[in-house]
Structure 1
Amino acid sequence: MSNSTFRGAVSRRALLATGAALGTLATLSAPIAIAQEPLKVAGIYTVPVEQQWVSRIHIAAVAAQERGDIDYTYSENTANTDYPRVMREYAEQGYDLIVGEIFGAEAEAREVAAEYPDVAFLMGSSFKEDPALPNLAVFDNYIQDASYLTGIIAGAMSESDNIGMVGGFPIPEVNRLMHAFMAGAREMNPDVTFQVSFIGSWFDPPKAKETAYAMIENGADMLYAERFGVSDAAKEKGVLAIGNVIDTQADYPDTVVASAIWHFEPTLDAAIAAVKAGEFTAADYGLYSFMKEGGSSIAPYGTFEGKIPEAALDMVREKAAAIESGEFSVEINDEEPKSS
């Protein structure tokens, strides 16, 4: 499935036109102010909350609820065609903040947000915020810093110099992580090559597994597990894997060397604080996923302590320090990655 097809052929121009047309429906000057304690927060997800990307949002929301900042409920497995309806239902029920991911329903979701200017919407999106919709802020998993560091490790540990990469869809939030990983691997090992494939689904472990099998048959001895199922193939075939967004080493102790972890807590906590302070408005919350903001990290090496080449660990430490200090920036490349 192509990038444009997945997003429902929504272009930036179309979104800007939609925002302009809806501008009269939105309150353009005053940010949203909510006095209620705790906030009523709803999550709307197109996949199960166990899915790695959504699980990070869910975990952060549960933590906020446990400390008393919010009352949280959620809907999972919501089809893109049903997404606007579910948004309206939560808005009508008086929820203060609605969190979710609108990659497959961009224009429709923004229309709903315009209908409820007193509700704050924090949505994962491939597009930027629209000033005509001051109650809708966007975010994304900008964890390219951690992905770059795991690439260094992968480049050092691949003996065949052949790395397989299995992704869901070639959209910016996937592409940028793959490119960062590839850059890190090349930094460590200039001879490394890549097999890149997308399965056209966010949650199809059997398909991801079969795709990974084919890459292993084609010489890959290291896999980038952007989707569930890839690490299963690596485990069964005796090759290594790098995780994405969550740490799965406990499930694959002899397979997953390292993982780039997304921490959604800084993003959600900033939105909660903004709503409570009456300062929530159209903004890009993506920066809260950067490593220097605490939004991403590299997982502990666990069972692979002492097995990773020291040269790679030295480079990881050096680059991580440079990222934290601002001396080094990992390139953000949203273009679709290709096989070598």
Structure 2
Amino acid sequence: MVRVTRRAFLHGSAALAAVTAATTAPRLARAADPIKTAAIYTVPVEQQWVSRIHLAATKAVERGDIDYVFSEKVSNTDYERVMREYCEAGYKLIVGEAFAVEEAARAVAKDYPDVAFLIGSSFKPDAALPNFATFDNYIQDASYLSGMIAGAMTKSGNIGMVGGYPIPEVNRLMNAFMAGVREVKGDTKFQVAFIGSWFDPPKAKETALAQIDAGADLLYAERFGVSDAAKERGILAVGNVIDTQADYPDTVVASALWHFEPTLDHAIAQVKAGKFAAEDYGMFSFMKAGGCSLAPLGTFDGKVPADIVAKVQAREAEIKSGAFTVAIDDNEPKSS
């Protein structure tokens, strides 16, 4: 896939818009050719959450399902303009994140009823806006399992947790992780902090170092930078959304992975069938849908107690079968 940024794309957008304006099919019509897809990200494409969307889109390109361009590091104040430029240029599936620009994103969707919008959001879809579907990383299942491993690996029973913002999509993962820890080590104490940024590794590291100084011997790395603090101080960390063990082979013991493929693939299928609608795509991140998993133990294979590994495997099977349900708790987690 050729990496296309917004700067390069915009040079040809005006001419392309003139062509597509004359050939636009009826509202959300059936798509036979690769779907013209554009993604808009407020952070670098390497950031955890966004990287999983980008990976799924790249796979869809390789299958021939979509043509794909993206814009990264788009400011909140610029987000609506970029959305409109892609719509005017004839893109038929817009993927993005509306957490800080919800009203603007929905306004754009209202103005372009023939475009399908698959948007990360803390809110639900609205039947009055049939071309605007929402998704989120509901990976509480994998987060719970990673917490079980953390509960077995902490010696002090004091775990530090560093997140970006206390919003539902972060809170539910932290709460699920804490619940998993407590299943194994019920008296664990948690230090919970938020850095007020989606991408500030130095600040995340600084916050994590303070938690280590306050007694934490294991860290939950919801943000980049936390595992650096754990590595520097020689303690363990648990990752989130992506697997960074290759970069921290002696530090990252477990990670809850998000797989965006089921979410994007459903949207692609709906667009191709002319059936895209205002659905809540949250369920496609559940473990039983293939939307999340626990990363392989890798370098920690044989280092996590065998009885805990067996318990984790049993819980995973129960989650997939529906015999065990991980609670979805969107409330802000607190230190304890």
Q: Shared fold by TM > 0.5?
A: yes
1:240 equivalent in structure 2: 236
| Letter matched to residue 36 of structure 2 | K
Instruction: Give the C-alpha shift of residue 61 in structure 1.
Output: 0.3
1:26 equivalent in structure 2: none
Cα distance in 1 for partners of 2:264, 2:245 equals 26
Cα distance in 1 for partners of 2:120, 2:204 equals 23
Matched, 1:275 2:271: yes
1:61 equivalent in structure 2: 57
**Is the 2:27–2:113 contact (alpha carbons within 8 Å) kept by the matching residues of 1?**
no
Give structure 1 stretches of 5+ with no counterpart. 1-29
1:40 equivalent in structure 2: 36
Of 306, 317, 324, which residue of structure 2 is paired with 1:321? 317
Cα distance in 1 for partners of 2:31, 2:46 equals 32
Of 259, 262, 268, which residue of structure 2 is paired with 1:263? 259
- SS of equivalent to 2:271: helix
Cα distance in 2 for partners of 1:39, 1:146 equals 31
| Letter matched to residue 124 of structure 2 | K
Q: Cα deviations across residues 253-301 of structure 1 (Å, max 9, x unaligned)?
A: 0000010000000000000000000010100011000000000000010
User: Considering only aligned residues, what root-mean-square deviation do their CA atoms show, in Å?
Assistant: 0.9
Instruction: Give the C-alpha shift of residue 31 in structure 1.
Output: 7.2
How many residues in Structure 1 have an aligned counterpart in Structure 2? 311
| Letter matched to residue 134 of structure 1 | P
Q: Cα deviations across residues 15-62 of structure 1 (Å, max 9, x unaligned)?
A: xxxxxxxxxxxxxxx972233401000000000000000000000001
Matched, 1:170 2:177: no
| Letter matched to residue 106 of structure 2 | R
**Is the 1:292–1:323 contact (alpha carbons within 8 Å) kept by the matching residues of 2?**
yes
What are the equivalent positions in structure 2 for 1:1-340 lying under 5 Å apart?
Answer: 32-340=28-336
Counting aligned pairs with the same residue, the percent is: 72
**Is the 2:27–2:115 contact (alpha carbons within 8 Å) kept by the matching residues of 1?**
no
Cα distance in 1 for partners of 2:27, 2:51 equals 29
**Is the 1:31–1:279 contact (alpha carbons within 8 Å) kept by the matching residues of 2?**
no
| Letter matched to residue 183 of structure 2 | E
Instruction: Give the C-alpha shift of residue 66 in structure 1.
Output: 1.1
**Is the 1:162–1:219 contact (alpha carbons within 8 Å) kept by the matching residues of 2?**
yes
Cα distance in 2 for partners of 1:33, 1:288 equals 24
- SS of equivalent to 1:41: strand
**Is the 2:241–2:258 contact (alpha carbons within 8 Å) kept by the matching residues of 1?**
yes
Cα distance in 1 for partners of 2:328, 2:187 equals 22
Cα distance in 2 for partners of 1:144, 1:31 equals 36
Q: Cα deviations across residues 114-171 of structure 1 (Å, max 9, x unaligned)?
A: 0000000000000000111000000000000000000000011000000000000000
**Is the 2:35–2:93 contact (alpha carbons within 8 Å) kept by the matching residues of 1?**
yes
| Letter matched to residue 308 of structure 2 | A
Runs of 4+ residues over 2 Å off in structure 1: none
Instruction: Give the C-alpha shift of residue 315 in structure 1.
Output: 1.4
**Is the 2:113–2:131 contact (alpha carbons within 8 Å) kept by the matching residues of 1?**
yes
| Letter matched to residue 206 of structure 2 | E
- SS of equivalent to 1:180: helix
Cα distance in 1 for partners of 2:93, 2:305 equals 46
Instruction: Give the C-alpha shift of residue 184 in structure 1.
Output: 0.2
| Letter matched to residue 339 of structure 1 | S
Instruction: Give the C-alpha shift of residue 250 in structure 1.
Output: 0.2
Cα distance in 2 for partners of 1:237, 1:127 equals 39
**Is the 2:285–2:291 contact (alpha carbons within 8 Å) kept by the matching residues of 1?**
yes
Cα distance in 2 for partners of 1:274, 1:35 equals 9
Cα distance in 2 for partners of 1:314, 1:221 equals 24
